[in-house]
Structure 1
Amino acid sequence: TFRVVGHFNTGKALVKATCGRTFNSESDAQTFLDACASAGHVVSSIETKPSTKKPAAPFTTSTLQQEASRKLSFSVSRTMGVAQRLYEAGRITYMRTDSTNLSDVALKAAEKEISKTFGAAYAFTRTYASKSKGAQEAHEAIRPTDLSASSIDASREEQRLYDLIYKRTLASQMADAKLDKTVAKISVSGRDEEFVARGEVITFEGFLKLYLEGTDDEDGQDETTKDMLPAMTEGQPMTRQTVVATQRFSKHPPRYTEASLVKRLEELGIGRPSTYASTIDVMQKRGYVVKEDRDGTPRDYRVLTLSGTAVQAETATENAGQERGKLFPTDIGLVVNDFLLEHFQNILDYNFTADVEGEFDVIARGQLDWRAMLKRFYAPFKETVDTTMEHAERASGERILGVHPESGAQILCRIGRYGPMAQIGGPDDEEKQYASLLPGQSIETLTLEEALDLFKLPRTLGEMEGKKVTAAIGRFGPYVRYDGKFVSLKADEGDDPYTVTLERAVELIKAKIEADAKALIKVFEEDETVRVLNGRYGPYIKAGKLNAKIPKEEKPDDLTWERVQELIEEAKNRPKRGRRKKS
């Protein structure tokens, strides 16, 4: 479709207006611009209406996480960590809450502070109803404990989050902002279409003097940022400057950010204030989703410009599909999701989780016996688990891509032990070859040609001091291998396993050997694989895959073989640290 924007001159100022109709084709847009070239333009109507804008409610856990993401670029887990420290320092109230209520003490303190800072006209005491599905409201909203303290002595990130909470709390108890909204329509003689110009003037700032809530709308313009319109009267002639028709494409629904996902979980009634951050954190730690930036792809679009009486057409290029800080499902996440949907569809239903949360509330009120609730859920659930364990095949997300052009062997991609991979050889083939997918590749979109390229590795580059040097891609990315050593290739310096030269590989290997030599403190004749090294956290003993601590009071250079053996034994017998069990 084509969106048309016109710029008109009142004689004293320029007015930007958008055509009320979008055009489905370039030819339709061209016809309209041709008509504008010879048309006259007048202000057909102008309407001004008073309007108000209300402040947002004080923070709940969910809205704090969303706003800190928008305004401070904090992740959900970072927000909760900083809020926890502020709470422990006595700066804010409890940060896990679904309530928007403020105590009477807080309301009076807010009114006093607003009146003192901005004047009595800006103070307006109000209460808010929670919009959260199944809100328990066991705690007050998140607010400063001392509303007379507009700033605090703390770390930079603590100051920033406190400032956000402070301003939001005070703004929630301030008067509405008052605005005059104006809509002017500009006619095109001989055509039914009209251009529409919108503007507004803030007549009383109210809460906007202190705070404005952020938005997740990536394309939208906030109401308070619209331009003012110059004075115009109905019937006033307008001089056209330019009219531009720009091709626009439909967009897929936006991917979730951490903040917008929290908002959606709250809307669906899934989880509690205490679980939003941990839910998102676990998804990322288990590799089901990744949070990252992704570059868009160049896309051509058409632009028609009417200036004077001539329409000029040109092709421009834009970066389409660019994403910043979005959550993307991984191959493992997609496979796990498909498996669960196939075998546990009722549990993955959004309503199931919300209904269970609701039943927890009923149990908490003493209106439902928890044993009966668990029995009703657990018996069919266990039966489904047992049946799935017995009969379901291990999910791998396998996709057959085709056959090898030379051997005729089947080529497929699937999830393996170490993540997404390509495979040469089907189930009945004795000898199979495997290759890890590159960053950015997916088993959903991998082509046969891309899979074949993966098997061009490892590449033999040549020899260094009589020993073979190869380039390949492993679990942790591209590398070169020499004499049992693995040296990472540096993608940020242009290293590529498919094109890296022997000279570059030798350079990296020598740098690695030099770095390792600097880290080496001591080696023993009894066993050269046992070494005393300088590590990130200080000196330590390395024996194969086992690392042993060196007591602080002992000098690494003075360690004897016998003492090293004692420390290795202590390390072997030391209990492994596991997750704490909840009591």
Structure 2
Amino acid sequence: MADSLVIVESPAKAKTIGKYLGSKFIVKASMGHIRDLPKSQIGVEINNNFEPKYITIRGKGSILKELKDARKKVKKVYLAADPDREGEAIAWHLAHYLELDETETCRVVFNEITKQAVKDAFKTPRKINLDLVNAQQARRILDRLVGYKISPLLWKKVKKGLSAGRVQSVAVKLVYDRENEIKAFVPEEYWSITARLLAGTTEFEAKFHSLKGEKKELSNQQEVDEILAGVAKSEFTINEVKEKERQRNPSPPFITSSLQQEAARKLNFRASKTMSVAQQLYEGIDLGSEGTVGLITYMRTDSTRISPVAQEEAKEFIQQKYGEAYYPETPRVYLKKAANAQDAHEAIRPSSVLREPDQMKDHLSRDQLRLYKLVWERFVASQMSSAVLDTMTVDITAGDTIFRAVGSKMKFPGFMKVYVEGNDDGTTEEDKLLPPMKPGDKVKKQQIDPKQHFTQPPPRYTEARLVRALEEMGIGRPSTYAPTLETIQKRGYVAIDEKKFIPTELGELVIQQMIEYFPEILDVEFTAQMEGELDQVEEGKEDWVKVLATFYESFEKRLEVAEEEMEKIEIQDEVSDEICEKCGRHLVYKMGRFGKFLACSGFPECRNTKPIVKDIGVTCPNCKEGKIIERRSKKGRIFYGCDQYPGCDFVSWDKPVDRPCPKCASMMIEKRNKNGTFHQCIQCDFKEEQQEKE
């Protein structure tokens, strides 16, 4: 007969924990939060110390009745929601609903869902941490004040359905500012000169470095022609050879933001997908004979700390699998990445390094396996020895000119045997070996290749870059990144083009109004300072009501000024030349979640809409009559299809190219990899030579 009730958030977590605890425990799921602020009103008594007015979330009635009935049958209740602010708040709300004593030791937390971790947690239950609860309440109320006070103003002055948010507005402004930087960017010309040289029978490349002993940047063709004339008849002689050994250290184990960034780079996962799959791995996977096990530690963390037990297990595993040389002399300890890191949990790591990814293939879905492999490899590599590379720098003289060749070779792979961190540019560090050379050697000139370049504007934000920017600026916390990126897309403030964020016209309009009337909300330093004060609440060093009162004092004044001075903006629909095929009126351009689309000007009487078609200038290879056009899926992803649809069902995720394959005459498509773009046939194995990535 069960004598204890355990409440967690999800059925998957309940199932895993129930197997570990046995028949004396009833394990139920609350399905997340059970109470929240009402959607229909602000739900905060501002003049009564910001007292929140919580209501039961609609649809939770049957779940709450089930929990209350189970409560009557047991002597003890344990609240085992996730080990963060949200989890603490869920536990607090449950304690209120079930009328538990706040001084009771009813809270259990664990960083990983394994049998030992869960059993250890139940040996040391604690009271609900009211500082954590107050920190969550303060954030929720602060976001409610910003959202529910500014949004109605935007509805009245700009357009219905708009919203503003404390973190989301900063994210949109970053995208908006970057787009303005790109528009204002003036490209500057520069040149490079590459010499292809032969040492013995080995060809290698050297780049122009300096002239008459001084390093020189080449800015125009005249300077290049002078260099070319000077080396045209010159011998190429080895002037100096420098060889040295350098070490490369591993990256720390994952925190939430770095996991999202690396999953975007290597797995092409959106931040929301990364967190969803990570949640599944954390809550538990059925491993057959081993039962259900949580495969990774908690995935919302800003700490790179590793438990001594996990570190010791990693040490034994690395030494046994790779050899003694692959483990450093002393265990690796990683410092906090940021001064405001809370360090409340461990880094994201496998719950046991002994569960190698290859052993998990039969138990995990493709996405689960790929993410687990990423976490496992990153953790193992983080505990391994440094890689050792031999580098070689060779200066070659030709008259008054010096060309430089740089190469390296792996001397000892260390952690790179398991994993190497990606980067946002998609490039990787590769060995480039140089032939043996010594000062005085002559090398033969094969070809001199001058090339014109232009400086590039700063890149648009990908999800990975935007998460990194928010983290570096101290905006938001691990749990906020994924939902923030989702929100700004759903609101139609940003769109995604080639996996990069661009501001929509609507987003630009809202940000311009916010900049003028609510500059503090968009100010990075101010927002980061607010995050710091909320963290102080969590640590029990600040009173949450005082923090809110200080913020609201100046915010209220801003609201009054905006209410009086913000002019109403009439957004006129741009009329197109196209006629609605249903009612004969003109179609107008509208702004939606994924950019502009066409809608009937007779709305709401006529609700006809159609996408804006972008012809890419390629004839359909299927029907030979239609044109290939760019379309967007329901989720906003670009694809390519025939304009004769549904008569022709040709479709491609890859962009078709306007010329046939030279080998079989089939259609070519544009593909992209770490080195840039290239063209590939859809039928045969023909692949066009890589196009250089500037």
Q: TM-score, normalised by structure 2?
A: 0.55
The 8 Å contact of residues 133 and 268 in structure 1, kept in 2 or not, is answered as no
Alignment length (residue pairs): 406
- In structure 1, the partner of 2:335 is 129
Partners of 1:495 and 1:211 in 2: how far apart?
41
Closer/same/farther in 2, CA of residues 394 and 226 from structure 1, 3 Å limit: farther
Closer/same/farther in 2, CA of residues 357 and 196 from structure 1, 3 Å limit: same
Partners of 2:342 and 2:200 in 1: how far apart?
59
- In structure 1, the partner of 2:350 is 144
AA matched with 2:516: E
Partners of 2:646 and 2:476 in 1: how far apart?
50
The 8 Å contact of residues 51 and 181 in structure 1, kept in 2 or not, is answered as yes
- In structure 2, the partner of 1:199 is 407
- In structure 2, the partner of 1:247 is 452
Closer/same/farther in 2, CA of residues 33 and 208 from structure 1, 3 Å limit: same
AA matched with 1:126: R
| Residue ranges of structure 1 left out of the alignment (5+ in a row) | 294-324, 397-414, 423-434, 436-453, 461-466, 497-506, 512-583
Question: Does structure 1 residue 458 correspond to structure 2 residue 458?
Answer: no
1:122-180 deviations in whole A, cap 9, x for unaligned? 12321100212410010110011121011221110010000000000000000000111
The 8 Å contact of residues 48 and 180 in structure 1, kept in 2 or not, is answered as yes
For residue 25 of structure 1, report the CA deviation from its aligned partner: 1.2
Q: How does 1:166-185 map to 2 (within 5 A)?
A: 166-185=376-395
- In structure 2, the partner of 1:11 is 200
Partners of 1:489 and 1:281 in 2: how far apart?
22
AA matched with 1:6: A
- In structure 2, the partner of 1:338 is 512
Candidates 518, 523, 547, aligned match of 1:373: 547
Partners of 2:607 and 2:479 in 1: how far apart?
46
- In structure 2, the partner of 1:87 is 282
The 8 Å contact of residues 336 and 395 in structure 1, kept in 2 or not, is answered as no
Closer/same/farther in 2, CA of residues 118 and 266 from structure 1, 3 Å limit: same
Closer/same/farther in 2, CA of residues 241 and 276 from structure 1, 3 Å limit: same
Partners of 2:564 and 2:375 in 1: how far apart?
52
Partners of 1:15 and 1:509 in 2: how far apart?
54
Candidates 396, 419, 422, aligned match of 1:186: 396
- In structure 1, the partner of 2:488 is 283
Residue 578 of structure 2: SS of its match in structure 1?
coil
Partners of 1:489 and 1:495 in 2: how far apart?
14
Partners of 1:341 and 1:478 in 2: how far apart?
30
Closer/same/farther in 2, CA of residues 487 and 135 from structure 1, 3 Å limit: closer
The 8 Å contact of residues 487 and 509 in structure 1, kept in 2 or not, is answered as no
The 8 Å contact of residues 244 and 391 in structure 2, kept in 1 or not, is answered as yes
Q: How does 1:96-135 map to 2 (within 5 A)?
A: 96-124=300-328, 125-135=331-341
Q: By percentage of residues, which structure has more strand?
A: 1
Residue 139 of structure 1: SS of its match in structure 2?
coil
For residue 473 of structure 1, report the CA deviation from its aligned partner: 5.5
For residue 35 of structure 1, report the CA deviation from its aligned partner: 1.6
Superposed CA RMSD in Å reads 2.7
Closer/same/farther in 2, CA of residues 459 and 82 from structure 1, 3 Å limit: closer
Candidates 210, 227, 238, aligned match of 2:432: 227
The 8 Å contact of residues 4 and 22 in structure 1, kept in 2 or not, is answered as no
For residue 346 of structure 1, report the CA deviation from its aligned partner: 2.1
AA matched with 2:274: T
Residue 16 of structure 1: SS of its match in structure 2?
strand
For residue 368 of structure 1, report the CA deviation from its aligned partner: 2.1
For residue 28 of structure 1, report the CA deviation from its aligned partner: 1.4
Closer/same/farther in 2, CA of residues 488 and 290 from structure 1, 3 Å limit: closer
Partners of 2:489 and 2:504 in 1: how far apart?
10
Partners of 2:451 and 2:612 in 1: how far apart?
42
- In structure 2, the partner of 1:237 is 442
For residue 486 of structure 1, report the CA deviation from its aligned partner: 4.6
1:36-74 deviations in whole A, cap 9, x for unaligned? 211111011000011000000000001000100111011
Identity across aligned pairs (percent)?
Answer: 37
Residue 445 of structure 2: SS of its match in structure 1?
strand
Q: How does 1:138-537 map to 2 (within 5 A)?
A: 138-151=344-357, 152=360, 153-189=363-399, 191=400, 193-217=401-425, 221-222=427-428, 224-293=429-498, 325-395=499-569, 415-416=571-572, 421-422=573-574, 435=575, 454=576, 456-458=577-579, 472=587, 475=590, 477=597, 486=608, 488=610, 491=613, 493-494=626-627
For residue 332 of structure 1, report the CA deviation from its aligned partner: 0.8
The 8 Å contact of residues 246 and 388 in structure 2, kept in 1 or not, is answered as yes
For residue 494 of structure 1, report the CA deviation from its aligned partner: 3.6
For residue 458 of structure 1, report the CA deviation from its aligned partner: 2.1
Partners of 2:219 and 2:587 in 1: how far apart?
50
Closer/same/farther in 2, CA of residues 203 and 188 from structure 1, 3 Å limit: same
Residue 164 of structure 1: SS of its match in structure 2?
helix
The 8 Å contact of residues 386 and 414 in structure 2, kept in 1 or not, is answered as yes
AA matched with 1:158: Q
Partners of 1:111 and 1:334 in 2: how far apart?
52
The 8 Å contact of residues 82 and 158 in structure 1, kept in 2 or not, is answered as yes
| Residue ranges of structure 2 left out of the alignment (5+ in a row) | 1-189, 210-215, 285-293, 616-625, 630-643, 649-694
Closer/same/farther in 2, CA of residues 28 and 245 from structure 1, 3 Å limit: same
AA matched with 1:16: E
- In structure 1, the partner of 2:253 is 58
The 8 Å contact of residues 410 and 431 in structure 2, kept in 1 or not, is answered as no
1:422-454 deviations in whole A, cap 9, x for unaligned? 2xxxxxxxxxxxx2xxxxxxxxxxxxxxxxxx3
Partners of 1:471 and 1:279 in 2: how far apart?
37
Closer/same/farther in 2, CA of residues 145 and 473 from structure 1, 3 Å limit: same
RCO greater where, 1 or 2, for CA within 8 Å and sep 6 or more? 2
Candidates 22, 30, 51, aligned match of 2:225: 30
1:67-89 deviations in whole A, cap 9, x for unaligned? 00111011111111111111111
Partners of 1:116 and 1:254 in 2: how far apart?
44
Partners of 1:168 and 1:395 in 2: how far apart?
51
Q: TM-score, normalised by structure 1?
A: 0.65
Partners of 2:628 and 2:307 in 1: how far apart?
60
1:366-396 deviations in whole A, cap 9, x for unaligned? 2222222221111110121122123211346
The 8 Å contact of residues 133 and 269 in structure 1, kept in 2 or not, is answered as no
Partners of 1:509 and 1:356 in 2: how far apart?
53
